């Protein structure tokens, strides 16, 4: 079941998404959060940090798994998702740092890190609530068009469009890695609850295909139509083609 909300402002989008996450964090003994990078979820993290500081929302009993990681960035690179998720969110709340995991994107880890990551998620009890963004081509995490619906955590080659979209975080396009480790579509579908946030005109086609399109590997997010608990939080531009 996919429920869609369109909110006028980023703050309203963030509050709605944060409400869903807070409900999970407050109701479970050991909640497992699925964290996404990219710019779309940032207002959600800011809202959760605010609730932590001002309303005592604690993440001390949580663990977290990021969706993906670039392959080959040196450890500590500010654009590695390991660093990004710490700088944007987890360092600012009381979650135990050792319980914030990312796929291993180091060159010598990629062969085995996918399977290890799947095991780690399963051992933690599976993801209770997964935050997602969506790429302009309909990708989720780094599952580019054509990714198998059965896919699990693995290395993927990034499309040119994705590298161009993400070049804004790097000094130049040639510094954007060509490959990434990513949770698979089957991995993401196992999350018990999904909150997808999208803003801006550039996401309108992908959102339309996700919600109303035929379920097709050409639009990886369309697979979410078969999930039992998805909340999609849009701004007016992202929902303009619905
Ligand atoms: C990136 C990430 C995705 C993200 C998407 C959109 O490549 N791997 O997880 O959802 O692209 O990013 P943004 O939210 O910055 O538009």
Indicate whether 106 belongs to any domain: yes
**C-alpha–C-alpha distance, residues 148 and 171, integer Å:** 32
114 in ligand 1 pocket by Cβ < 6 Å? no
Number of domains in the chain: 1
Indicate whether 235 belongs to any domain: no
Indicate whether 52 belongs to any domain: yes
Indicate whether 200 belongs to any domain: no
Nearest residue by C-alpha to atom 5 in ligand 1: 135
Parent domain of 83: 10-126+140-192
Indicate whether 234 belongs to any domain: no
Output the domain CATH number for residue 17. Answer: 3.40.50.1360
- Which of 69, 139, 166, 235 is labelled catalytic? 139
**C-alpha–C-alpha distance, residues 173 and 225, integer Å:** 33
Residue 122, phi then psi, degrees to nearest 5? -65, -40
Alpha-helix residue ranges (DSSP H) falling in the chain: 10-27, 42-55, 81-88, 110-123, 160-166, 185-189, 204-212
Tens digit of each residue's pLDDT, the chain (242 residues): 999 999 999 999 999 999 999 999 999 999 999 999 999 999 999 999 999 999 999 999 999 999 999 999 988 999 999 999 999 999 999 999 999 999 999 878 788 999 999 999 999 999 999 999 999 999 999 999 999 999 999 999 999 988 998 999 999 999 999 999 999 999 999 999 999 999 999 999 999 999 999 999 999 999 999 999 999 999 999 999 99
From the CA of 177, how far away is ligand 1's center (Å)?
A: 14
CA atoms within 13 A on the CB side of 12: 9
pTM over 0.80: yes
Indicate whether 182 belongs to any domain: yes
Indicate whether 218 belongs to any domain: no
Indicate whether 157 belongs to any domain: yes
Nearest residue by C-alpha to atom 12 in ligand 1: 38
Q: Give the residue from 65, 23, 9 showing the smallest Cα distance to 231.
A: 23
């Amino acid at each position: 079941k996919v429920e869609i909300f369109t909110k006028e402002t980023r703050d309203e989008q963030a509050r709605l998404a944060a409400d869903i996450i807070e409900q999970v964090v407050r109701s479970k003994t050991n909640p497992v959060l699925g964290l996404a990078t990219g710019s779309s979820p940032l207002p959600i993290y800011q809202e959760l940090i605010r609730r932590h500081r001002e309303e005592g929302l604690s993440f001390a009993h949580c663990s977290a798994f990021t969706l993906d990681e670039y392959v080959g960035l040196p450890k500590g690179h500010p654009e590695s998702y390991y660093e990004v998720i710490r700088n944007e969110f987890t360092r600012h709340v009381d979650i135990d740092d050792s319980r914030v995991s990312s796929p291993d994107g180091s060159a010598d880890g990629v062969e085995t890190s996918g399977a290890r990551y799947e095991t780690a998620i399963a051992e933690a009890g599976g993801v209770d609530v997964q935050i997602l963004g969506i790429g302009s081509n309909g990708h989720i995490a780094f599952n580019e068009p054509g990714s198998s619906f059965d896919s699990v955590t693995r290395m993927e080659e990034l499309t040119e469009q994705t590298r161009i979209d993400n070049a804004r975080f790097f000094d130049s396009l040639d510094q954007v890695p060509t490959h990434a480790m990513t949770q698979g579509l089957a991995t993401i579908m196992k999350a018990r609850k999904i909150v997808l946030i999208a803003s801006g005109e550039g996401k309108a086609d992908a959102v339309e295909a996700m919600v109303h399109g035929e379920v097709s590997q050409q639009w990886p997010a369309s697979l979410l139509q078969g999930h039992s608990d998805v909340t999609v939080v849009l701004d007016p531009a992202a929902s303009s083609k619905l």
